[in-house]
Amino acid sequence: MLGYLLRRVLAAIPVMGVVALFVFLLLRITPGDPAAILAGDNATPAQLERIRTSLGLNEPLYIQFVTWVGKLLHGDLGVSLISNVPVLKLIGQRVEPSLSIALSTIILSIVVAVPLGVIAAWKHGTWIDRFVMGLSVIGFSVPVFVIGYVLIQIFAIDLRWLPVQGFRSITSGFGPFLERIILPTIALSFIYVALIARMTRAAMLDVLGEDYVRTARAKGIAEPGVLLRHALRNAAVPVITVIGSGFTLLISGVVVTESVFNLPGIGRLTVDAVLGRDYPVIQGMILLTSFVYVLVNLLIDLAYTLLDPRIRY
């Protein structure tokens, strides 16, 4: 098992290397003078020269890359061109809202979707199965911003139970923190509940007809034990893959939700950086997203080694 995990870690290193090379070339392969792109149309020749010198654009390309990687390994992602704040500090200030929504969404989705998928597979072909699949279709079909606005109208404007928008850090108290992330979490959970429920149902249907499931039932094991201990455990690998992929998508794709609920997360930061041509922030966000993808895939591989007894070496 350790050998398998070590190979997966070693395989992730070239992936991050390719991503780092792409991020480095992002500014250099842009048509035109990178210094002019960063400085704007009204920059003077002296300002352009200062930018070229600060970015090392006058050096050979390979020296620029080595220097940039050296800074990267020391945690230096550059400085934002808009706010003049180090990119790493800027991301650190914005990561809590996005991470909070992603974690709460994936937890809520698992708690709701996995039982729904198991029940739908157990009652395959009945009205319960059709009802769950109907909910999944609705979850896939309705845009997140529509769900968000409906929730705001009902719970924030009509009933006045929850705040309309904004974010409070968990350090200010769990109550204020929870009441400001519950609506974004519910809105974003719809599509992930649909996705995880459908995958759980499909994976369960594949294993419910296996011999070991029939043997467990023949031994007189209660149906909940058959479903949870025998069927769900063997169906968990594709479900975990979907959950892991969904989490990475949540980290990098909460732009719409953060815009609807006015949350100062990394999604909003990315949009502002793109609109303002803040290339150091864009580079930092690409690196962060890629690192999250690689880390989650490594965790999925670890789950494989724990759930699949065939993986040992």
Indicate whether this model's pTM tops 0.95. no
Q: Same domain, yes or no, for 113 and 64?
A: no
Q: Which CATH number characterizes residue 276's domain?
A: 1.10.3720.10
Contacts of 2 (CB under 8 A, 6+ apart): none
For residue 80, the SS3 value is coil
Torsion of CA 203, 122, 230, 241, to 10 degrees: 20
CB atoms near residue 2 (< 10 Å): 9
In a domain, 17, yes or no: yes
CA dihedral 258, 260, 264, 266 (to 10 degrees): 20
171 shares its domain with 267: yes
Q: Are 27 and 105 part of one and the same domain?
A: no
Instruction: Please report, in tens digits, the pLDDT of each residue of the chain (313 residues total).
Output: 667 667 777 777 888 888 888 888 876 676 666 667 666 667 777 877 777 777 677 777 788 788 888 888 888 888 887 777 888 888 888 888 888 888 899 899 999 999 999 999 888 889 999 998 998 888 888 888 888 888 888 988 888 888 877 788 888 888 888 888 898 899 888 888 998 999 999 888 888 877 777 788 788 788 777 787 778 877 887 888 888 877 777 766 677 788 788 888 888 888 888 777 777 888 888 888 888 888 877 777 777 666 655 554 4
What is residue 123's DSSP assignment?
T
Domain shared by 10 and 154, yes or no:
no
Three-state DSSP class for residue 86: strand
Report CA 210 to chain centroid distance, whole Å.
Answer: 34
Out of 20, 53, 74, pick the residue that ends a domain: 74
Tracing tokens 């080595």 back to the chain, one arrives at: 66
User: For residue 52, what are the domain limits?
Assistant: 1-74
Please work out, in degrees rounded to the nearest 5, the angle formed at the alpha carbon of residue 112 by the alpha carbons of 109 and 113. Answer: 70
46 and 132 co-located in one domain? no
Sequence letter at residue 152: I
